[in-house]
Chains A and B, each alone.
Chain A
Amino acid sequence: MICSMIVEMGHFALILAFVVAVVQMIVPLVGAQKGWRGWMAVAEPAASAQFLLTGAAFAALTYAFVTSDFSLRLVVLNSHTDKPMIYKISGVWGNHEGSMLLWIWILTLFGACAAWFGGGLPPTLRARVLAVQSAIAVAFFAFILFTSNPFLRLEVPPMNGQDLNPLLQDPGLAFHPPFLYLGYVGLSMSFSFAVAALIEGRVDAAWGRWVRPWTLAAWLFLTIGIALGSWWAYYELGWGGFWFWDPVENASFMPWLIAAALLHSAIVVEKREALKAWTILLAILAFGFSLIGAFIVRSGVLTSVHAFANDPERGVYLLAITAIFMGGALTLYAARAGAMEAKGVFSLVSRESALVANNILLAVSCFVVFIGTVWPLIAEMAFDRKLSVGPPFFDAAFTPFMVALAAILPIGALLPWKRARLGRTMRPLWGVLALAIAAGALTWSMQTGRSALAPVGMILFVWLIGGAAAELWQRSGRNEFSAKIRRLARLPRADWGKAVAHSGLGVTIFGVAALTAWQLEDIRVAQVGDSFEVGAYRIALNDVVRERGPNYFTVKADMSVFRGGREVARLFPEKRDYPVAQMPTTEAAIDNGVFRDVYLVIGDAQAGGGWAVRTYIKPFANWIWAGCIIMALGGCLSLSDRRYRVAAGARKAPATAVPAE
């Protein structure tokens, strides 16, 4: 009896959380305006309560999935008793309603973190931040309760469910959405800080310092989330593509670009009290792009043929949320931003200018992605042209910005604040530049094709990593070797984080360039017992068998990969068929290596006997995601710097919060 009540209790907890959110949206805001401490103090327990209540709702839904409670509509549509346990759990967020519940749980988690660790913030700012954060929560609680309720029951429960989409039954995809949401929703914190600062009418170095860890955390989660999605596409979709410039991917990439810009401009606010209005605008836009992303993914407006949740009502609601929050914040911005007076003065050649250039490149490249994503919509509405904007456009229009960004990065990173001399800054970089060009020339002469892609990728790779190393070396001072090493070990973690993250960008750039330029492909019909050459490898099809998995049937090939007469890998690519979901999937078999992946796919049985077999040699494929992980690692290092630690404010008196560098 108690068990069957759990779902109802979860539903009730969700409604209660909605009510708490409404209170937290209004009371602290009024309190901050009137200076009533009691009213402001409501925010913290309310934020904790919201988090716990939403967590209870999420736990109840998870319970329903785990116990296969088919009286719940959502469970019927997305689960099955035969499904492995891990996918019963990940199935909770493998659908629109459940993923919304996860989204909002993470939203309340960030609110609660701001309440728990925001002890160092001025009380009015904290009350306002939490109230704005709660306003976002109110909008999404209403959205979930009124249009996407996960707790709807069925009058007549069926005997079994319709199973989760088989493509989603995969470890990579089980963890992809939570990370992505931690990123998307984390940007709500930067947004709340920006709006609260506009209400307060004050932005100073301390504000820049408070907003940075939240943005950094959101950015690094977004980095991991995007990398996981790309990696999943690589091994699951059967031809090893890693990025498709699909609207849904762009939806996650745009906030990432803006968040990256925001990270850098917030440094200028913190260190030099300049770029304040611009930083506030970026903080608003970063979350704006998260909201637009949610709209793109869930409304189906850009994906008219197929969509995640093709429901006009939901689309309209999400568009309204986006319009209200962006419209409100930008109006407030227009009214108040003029008052954000910059203090710092700096010359044209300075770290400040370099960061402005970084922001321009990131923001304009985000604009290119945005316009390309929505252009089919604009063309159809305004010019009555039905057209597509696909990868060839983005490759041509977006790539130059990233090349330019990588080209100026090491110089900008080394420039001193305020006033710099280019000649002096370049001194440690000339050697790196020469090395980079030499490596590029070597790559050019060694490759067979005429593509400039790989040499450029190589130049940027050496330039970025060498630049990061040169910077660390320079920061270690003019000492003898052992003293330099000691000094290096004592450098602030933020400096290490910067060098590591910038190197990660270089690794990713090289991975993308090398894979695109040098990939080998072979498509053929092979008989069992055949072997064939692909590049330096010989591939043998030993056997093909039919087997049965827990909730699927499979055709499994047994293949060997030889190099120089020696077997280097034995791989078992599969073609699965999920009878409940009535869907086939390919399970490519990959021999991962540092310098190349051998990627095998088994296709259909051919009419004349034999099997369609695809072989890909993918050089440096793993560098793409390794670079992302390195970037995220750099973010973690920076986040763990004691100057930025999220909780640092809690232990320090507010008076010492101004950075002392």
Chain B
Amino acid sequence: MRRIVLILCLLAAPVWAVQPDEILDDPVLEDRARELSKGLRCLVCRNENIDESNAELARDLRLLVRERLVAGDSDAAVIDFVVDRYGEYVLLKPTATGSNLLLWVAGPAMLVVALGIGGLYLRRRSGSPAPDDRLSAEEEARLKRILEE
């Protein structure tokens, strides 16, 4: 029920993720291709990277990434190449540029705010301890009884 999407991806094209025939002979290049694939989104699936996706389109993208790597592109050049064609929608890790800065800063900023509010609250509560903080003689006796029990 929770991954209906994947299901629909399966429906679209019954090909399974990375195929043996896609794998490059050069293990270093292949490792780079796998790493890059994990950051690229399968366009017809929901929140699934092309490395794991079973869709035909994801396979095309995987082959494209490998083609560029074999042609000697750097990792950044490959990503730029794909983004130029498919838009920033393919990036699973949004760039920290423009309005996206808000997204990246939101967490740390909220933490600072929360720590500030929390700190103020704690300082207010940690004023001089209330006068009835000490135990009365009766309470002392009771505590002793409990501890001995």
Contacts and interface: CB of A to CB of B under 8 A. Distances in A.
Given A345-B125, A364-B107, A604-B16, A306 B46 contact: yes
A583 B7 CA distance: 8
Contacts of B3: 167, 233, 237, 246, 248
B145 interface: no
A368 B118 CA distance: 18
Nearest to B5: A306
A603 interface: yes
A397 B92 contact: no
Interface string B106-149: 11001100110010011101111110010000000000000000
A371 B107 contact: yes
B4 interface: yes
Given A239-B52, A391-B92, A94 B1 contact: yes
Interface residues of A, number: 79
A120 interface: no
Interface in A329-353: 342, 344-348, 352-353
Nearest to B113: A364
Contacts of A168: 1
Contacts of A249: 2
Contacts, number: 185
Contact of A344 (B104, B123, B125): B125
Contacts of A397: 104, 107
Contact of B5 (A238, A305, A367, A383): A305
Interface string A366-394: 01100110010001001101111111110
B5 A347 contact: no
Contact of A371 (B11, B91, B106, B130): B106
A419 B129 contact: yes
Contacts of B129: 345, 347, 418-419
A334 B89 CA distance: 39
A13 B14 CA distance: 44
Contacts of A173: 1
A606 B122 contact: no
B111 A360 contact: yes
A582 interface: yes
Nearest to B54: A238
Interface in B87-105: 87-94, 98-100, 103-104
Interface in A403-457: 418-419
B18 interface: yes
Given A348-B123, A371-B107, A390-B41, A229 B90 contact: no
B16 A586 contact: yes
Instruction: Give the contact-size bracket for chain B.
Output: 35 or more
A306 B4 contact: yes
B4 A372 contact: no
Contact of B99 (A176, A382, A401, A418): A382
Contact of A367 (B19, B93, B110, B122): B110
Contacts of A145: none
Nearest to B3: A233
Contacts of A246: 2-3, 5, 46-47
B5 A387 contact: no
Nearest to B123: A348
B17 interface: yes
Contacts of B45: 305-306
B44 A345 contact: no
Contacts of A525: 20-21
B15 interface: yes
Given A346-B125, A353-B122, A583-B11, A308 B46 contact: no
Nearest to B88: A387
Interface in A260-277: 274
Nearest to A368: B107
B88 A386 contact: yes
Given A167-B3, A347-B126, A388-B94, A585 B10 contact: yes
Contacts of A586: 16
Given A239-B52, A364-B111, A523-B18, A387 B89 contact: yes
Given A237-B3, A364-B114, A390 B47 contact: yes
Interface string A505-524: 00000000000000000011
Contact of A388 (B44, B47, B115, B133): B47
B29 interface: no
A246 B91 CA distance: 15
A164 B112 CA distance: 48
B127 A345 contact: yes
Contacts of A388: 41, 47, 88-92, 94
A531 interface: no
A640 interface: no
Interface string B60-104: 000000000000000000000000000111111110001110011
B117 to A, nearest CB: 9
A221 to B, nearest CB: 16
A172 B44 CA distance: 27
A649 interface: no
Contact of A379 (B2, B20, B99, B104): B99
A356 B5 contact: no
A95 to B, nearest CB: 8
A26 interface: no
B63 to A, nearest CB: 15
Contact of B2 (A229, A352, A382): A229
A379 B14 contact: no
A303 B8 CA distance: 12
Given A386-B88, A391-B92, A585-B10, A241 B47 contact: no
B52 A383 contact: no
Interface string A273-311: 010000000000000000000000100000101111000
B26 to A, nearest CB: 15
Given A244-B48, A603-B19, 14 more contacts: A305-B5, A305-B8, A306-B9, A307-B4, A308-B4, A348-B126, A385-B98, A385-B100, A387-B89, A388-B92, A391-B38, A393-B93, A398-B107, A614-B16
Interface of A: 94, 99, 165, 167-168, 173, 176-177, 229, 233, 237-239, 241, 244-249, 252, 274, 297, 303, 305-308, 342, 344-348, 352-353, 356-357, 360, 363-365, 367-368, 371-372, 375, 379, 382-383, 385-393, 396-398, 401, 418-419, 523-525, 582-586, 601, 603-604, 606, 612, 614
Interface of B: 1-11, 14-21, 23, 38-39, 41, 44-49, 52, 87-94, 98-100, 103-104, 106-107, 110-111, 114-115, 118, 121-123, 125-130, 133
23 contacts: A176-B1, A238-B16, A241-B52, A249-B2, A305-B8, A305-B45, A356-B122, A360-B111, A363-B114, A364-B110, A367-B107, A368-B110, A372-B103, A375-B94, A375-B103, A383-B98, A388-B88, A390-B41, A401-B111, A585-B10, A603-B16, A606-B20, A612-B16
Rank and list the top 9 A-B pairs by shortest CB-CB distance, nearest first.
A390-B92, A392-B93, A368-B107, A383-B99, A306-B8, A306-B5, A525-B20, A360-B114, A248-B2
